Amino acid sequence: MPELRSMVFVIENDRSLRQELRRLIYSVGLRVQLLESAEEFLGLQREDVPSCLLLDVRLSGISGLELQRRLGGAHHKIPLIFITSHGDVSMSVTAMKAGAVDFLQKPFRDQELLDAVCLGLERDRSRLELCEEDRCCRVASNLSPFESGKLSCW
């Protein structure tokens, strides 16, 4: 069972689908934040917890693929899962080459979506653990060997 602290962000312009996705994701013990646009997501202050982003390719304003480009350029590493009714092979290849966890065609099966979300959260959990190890190593390199033995991450 995923830890409750994990967060799934959903950017979908269809209100009824947003609500369905919230119920599905919440039913497996995850927190969910619903958003209508990529611009809303870009303005968020996010917690430093395992997260993933479930987003529609076609959004008003910034598209899902454009958001992926912006997040990649800004070195935001949140795992992305695309959902769309209007996708094609070229679009999915572009998204996957840029690091998307999955590219799901609507309608998708609930379990297919949940599997992708779990994979995205696991990737982000691993990324956060590596970042913490790196932070501890950088702190330890500035301390004497005696002092570094006191760090809780060693």
Q: What's the pLDDT at 142?
A: 62
Q: What's the pLDDT at 154?
A: 28
**Percent of the chain whose pLDDT exceeds 70:** 83
pLDDT at 7 over 90: yes
Residue 48 token pair: 């430093």
For residue range 16-30, what is the model confidence (pLDDT) as tens digits?
A: 999 999 999 999 999
Task: Please tell me what DSSP assigns to residue 75.
Answer: T
| 47 CB-near residues (< 8 Å, 6+ apart) | 5, 7
Residue 11 C-beta-side C-alpha neighbours within 13 Å: 25
Q: What's the pLDDT at 150?
A: 44
Give the predicted TM-score (pTM) of the model: 0.83
pLDDT at 146 over 50: no
Task: Please tell me what DSSP assigns to residue 152.
Answer: T
pLDDT at 53 over 60: yes
Largest Cα–Cα distance of the chain, in whole Å?
60
| Domains assigned to the chain | 7-128 (3.40.50.2300)
Mean pLDDT computed over every residue of the chain:
87
- Which whole-number Å values give the CA distances from 74 to 69, 70, 91, 136, in the listed order? 9, 6, 21, 24
DSSP string, 16-41: HHHHHHHHHHHTTT-EEEEES-HHHH
